[in-house]
Structure formats: C-alpha cells, structure tokens
Structure 1
C-alpha cells in the first residue's frame, strides 16, 4: 500500500515534471509548488472534508453551514476553508504564496487555521496527496512538522536534483523565454526575465547567472545538502529519471522508478512492470519544458563559463557526484 502522505522536494529546473508524472502514476493528487491539472488536484469529500472544515470554522459557523439552504453560500464557505487549510500548511512548510494576490486565501482564515491546528500533525492532512516543494529549509519549516517526520517517517520525502550546470542553463533558457510559456508567479523569475532579456547575448546571460548571487536557484544546491545526506530521504536525479528521450538510459529510469515505488510502499503494476509507467514520465508538454536533455551545458559553456562555474560551484559538483 502506498504511503498515504508524500512530499517531493525538487530543485527548480531539475526535472520536476518527471516527478509530477511519476507521483500521479502512483495515484497521488498533487499540491504545492507544482502546476497541476484540475483532475489531479486534491478532491476533498466526506469525513476528510469535514475534518478540514473543523480545523477552520468554529462550532457556531459549522452549525450555520450545515443548516444553510443556499448552495452557493455553502460551496463558497467550503472553498474558502480548503484554501485556508492548505494556506496554513504552506506557511508551516515554508512555502510562500506564489499566485496572484487576488487568488490568495483569506489571511484571517489562514491565521485562525494556523492557531487551531498548531498541535495537529501532517498526518491530519488529506491522505493520498503529494506536496511539491522546490526547497525545504529546516530553519523555515515548522518545528512540529520536522519533529513528526523525524519521529514517524511521515511524510515520505523524495529529493530530486540534477547536474547544476544543466540546471543553470535550463534556468537561463526558461527566463529568456525559450520555453514559450511564461515564467510563472515566482517574483525572482520576473525580475531576472527583464535582466536577461536586456543582456546582449546568450553568453552574457550565462555570465550573469554564474556571477549574480541572487540569480534564481543560486544557492539551492547548498541548501539541499541536508536532504542529500539524510538517510530517511529517497534521493533521485534527473539523469536517472529522464530516460532515453532525454539522453539517459531505460535501465536507470526503470531502476529509479522501482526504487521510489519501494520507498513509498507502492504495490502493483509500477513495481512489477516499471516499463508501464516510465513511458509516461517524459512529458514535453510540461509548463516549463525546453529540451530536457542530459549534458546540454556542454554545448553552451565557454571555457570562461566553466572557470566561473568551478570557482563558484566546484564543491557542489563533488557533493552531488557530478565529476
């Protein structure tokens, strides 16, 4: 049986879409810092929905809600409660709100939910939901969440990374508009889109990415070292998961799928016949997809870029095994 709660920490431009397809294939709904179609977003019903409502509204409000004959009012209250509940957990996990301000959950309801659920654990969140984060900072995440994970192993955490040189190249392509789908709601993406588009050449853009300490994701690999080193975290790389269509191998891809499935406790076809699932992973229609290939940095880095990278990220290459 699959672990009822899972959390994927996937560094930006490290192949999040591969994990998205994989976790969906395992039967999880998706939430957090990932673009998810409506059909794979969490659907709360029955006892699960009621449990969430009780974490947001008090008894008097719940009574009015159950007695109301106005369906539109009830639906709106439910939607606001669910948004506030997930908003409270975003704060506890250290995930800032990325969407438009007008779509943000009610600050009042979020604050109330935080207060009402301070002693509640991640195990009380809806089951069969996989949260996606681009970073899990132990200094920003809720201590209760971290303690629960350390004591119980819940949720199961998967950490996804990629060759830092390809990550940097992919981010430059993305912010330069090469994916053709915009840069999303990350504020730093919007800032550096303007900066990179103002640069005179692609070489200049790479130089900016290699020398600007605030460039998006500049410190992500260092901040992820604790996940790479922790024995209770399942580690997987883009190079393992991307498969032949991205310059990898079918053998590594299948082995990675089986390893993650085993870590999550998944039973059934994905474990017995990984080929049935690996064919779904490489999705070139993903929101930020550009090329999705291993070693593309070799086609663009000049000797000067390689020197700059080594000076700044040489220890990262060693730590993540990319020598």
Structure 2
C-alpha cells in the first residue's frame, strides 16, 4: 500500500467561531493531507449536506458546522471517518460572531439590520443573546422576520460534546501555547492513528509539523482569537440576559462552576 492509503479521512466539525481554520491548519500540517471543499460553492458542510460527508476520501480533511445527528454518526462510523470536534465558550462565540457579521459578512441576512437599525455593539450583542423579531414594515425593509438567539443557532452543534467515537477539543486548550496545546495536538495524533509506522514519521516529528503549520494570519475569518474576550464587552445587562436565556449552559459544558460570574 502507498503512504496515502494510510492517511485518514478527517472531518473537522466545529461550532462556528471556535477555531475551525486553526484546526484545519493543524491537520494540513500532516504530510499528504489536503483540504476537501464541501461543494463547488461551499467550503463547509452544513446540516442539509450531512449525507455528503460520506464522500470524504483518505487524505482529505473537510470542515463542517454540523448539528448532532444520529444518522451522521452512523455514516461516519460506516465510512471510517475520523471526527474531530471543537467548541468554544459561547460568550466568546457570540462576540466573535457579532464582529464577523459587521466586519466581514455584508451578505449576512441580518447585516443591514445590524448596521442601520442597531447603532452600538451593545445593542448588537444583546440582539444575538435574545434573538430578533421584526414586525410591520421592518420585515420588508430588512428582508427577514426573525433571527434565533445564539444558543438556538448553535446549541445543536454543542450537543456533540461528551460523545464517544470522536476527538473532542476545546478552543481554549488549543490556543494556549505550552503544555495545554501540546496535549491537544498529541490527542489528535493518537486519535488518528494507532501507530505511525506506515507513515515513517515519529510522533515528535509529526507534532512539530502540525504545530509549525499554525498561522492565524492566514485565516480570513480570524480577528483576535482572544480567550475570555467577552469580559471586555459584556455589560451587566448582557450577563443577566445571557443567564436568563441560557440558564446553566455554561456550567453544563464546563465553562463555569456556577452562575455567579
């Protein structure tokens, strides 16, 4: 067999704004791995494309923002696809998503509403926490009637957390240089291969290649990537609204010990 036949089929599945392209760079640091677009028009597999994940071939790494789906689990297992899932503190996701819409995505359905109707980032952040409902002439003016809150938008993707048969990562651990990042990269290597003898690479060498391929400046959607950046923009009203809307979400997913934050 050629070395290429020992390369894995990899699905990088993520909550948006959680280090998707960071993780892609890491996997592309593996010699022979190549990026696999979802379709000719899309770089990422979305919910309605989950069946197409079966087309991932050895040596491919594909990106997905795919909600938890038992049929997808079956397809992944049947095709021998390696599923790497990454998530991030929902508060930082919310802040990053807000800046992404206003700075990088003028085609977004709520862009006009965000930039014309809402005048401050405080208002925009609140809209993502609470959701948006329009009425009357505003529906025609802005082209939509409602938009879900951030948990309604991405909560079903977070539901991959704690599942077996995947490699689960946290953005925060991957972003921290030192032992935390090293542990996560080694976790990925151990998940992808039982041994590396067919690749003629040591674990140390492969680790170095993956780490050296990290370059946030080459990610078009990267802004700051700061851990805990939400603390610089969340007001007390944002905190209260977040807790009221999402309850124990942060506690259940290990981002807080309790609701006293």
**Normalising by the residue count of structure 2, what TM-score does the alignment of the two structures yield?**
0.76
Alignment match, 1:127? 58
1:147 is displaced (CA, Å) by 2.5
1:298 is displaced (CA, Å) by 0.4
Residue number among 85, 94, 107 corresponding to 1:159 in the alignment: 85
Measured on the aligned residues, the alpha-carbon RMSD in Å equals 3.2
Alignment match, 1:201? 120
Of 202-211 and 219-228, the range deviating more from structure 2: 219-228
8 Å Cα contact 1:166-1:295 kept in structure 2: yes
1:278 is displaced (CA, Å) by 2.0
* Cα distance change, pair 270–194 in 1 and its aligned pair in 2 (3 A): farther
Of 293-302 and 219-228, the range deviating more from structure 2: 219-228
Alignment of 1:1-323 (within 5 A): 3-26=7-30, 27-32=32-37, 94-95=48-49, 122=54, 125-138=56-69, 143=71, 146-150=73-77, 152=78, 154-177=80-103, 182-183=104-105, 190-198=108-116, 199-212=118-131, 214-215=147-148, 217-242=150-175, 248-265=176-193, 267=196, 271-273=203-205, 274-323=207-256
Higher RCO (C-alpha 8 Å, min separation 6):
1
Work out the CA distance in 2 between the residues paired with 1:308 and 1:227. 25
Work out the CA distance in 1 between the residues paired with 2:26 and 2:226. 18
Work out the CA distance in 1 between the residues paired with 2:184 and 2:56. 27
* Cα distance change, pair 276–308 in 1 and its aligned pair in 2 (3 A): same
* Cα distance change, pair 21–83 in 1 and its aligned pair in 2 (3 A): closer
1:220 is displaced (CA, Å) by 4.7
Q: Secondary structure of 2:49's match? A: coil
Of 125-134 and 213-222, the range deviating more from structure 2: 213-222
User: What do residues 24-49 of structure 1 show as CA deviations (whole Å, max 9, x unaligned)?
Assistant: 1124222246xxxxxxxxxxxxxxxx
Work out the CA distance in 1 between the residues paired with 2:186 and 2:157. 23
Q: Secondary structure of 2:255's match? A: coil
Q: Secondary structure of 2:110's match? A: helix
Alignment match, 1:109? none
1:315 is displaced (CA, Å) by 2.4
8 Å Cα contact 1:17-1:286 kept in structure 2: yes
Question: For the pair shown, which has the larger CA radius of gyration, 1 or 2?
Answer: 1
Work out the CA distance in 2 between the residues paired with 1:280 and 1:316. 33
Alignment match, 1:71? none
Work out the CA distance in 1 between the residues paired with 2:56 and 2:177. 37
User: What do residues 52-75 of structure 1 show as CA deviations (whole Å, max 9, x unaligned)?
Assistant: xxxxxxxxxxxxxxxxxxxxxxxx
Alignment match, 1:69? none
Number of residue pairs matched by the alignment? 230
* Cα distance change, pair 296–270 in 1 and its aligned pair in 2 (3 A): farther
Work out the CA distance in 2 between the residues paired with 1:318 and 1:94. 30
Q: Secondary structure of 2:169's match? A: strand
Of 295-304 and 225-234, the range deviating more from structure 2: 225-234
Alignment match, 1:54? none
Work out the CA distance in 2 between the residues paired with 1:31 and 1:290. 24
Structure 1 spans left out of the alignment, 5+ residues: 34-81, 97-113, 243-247
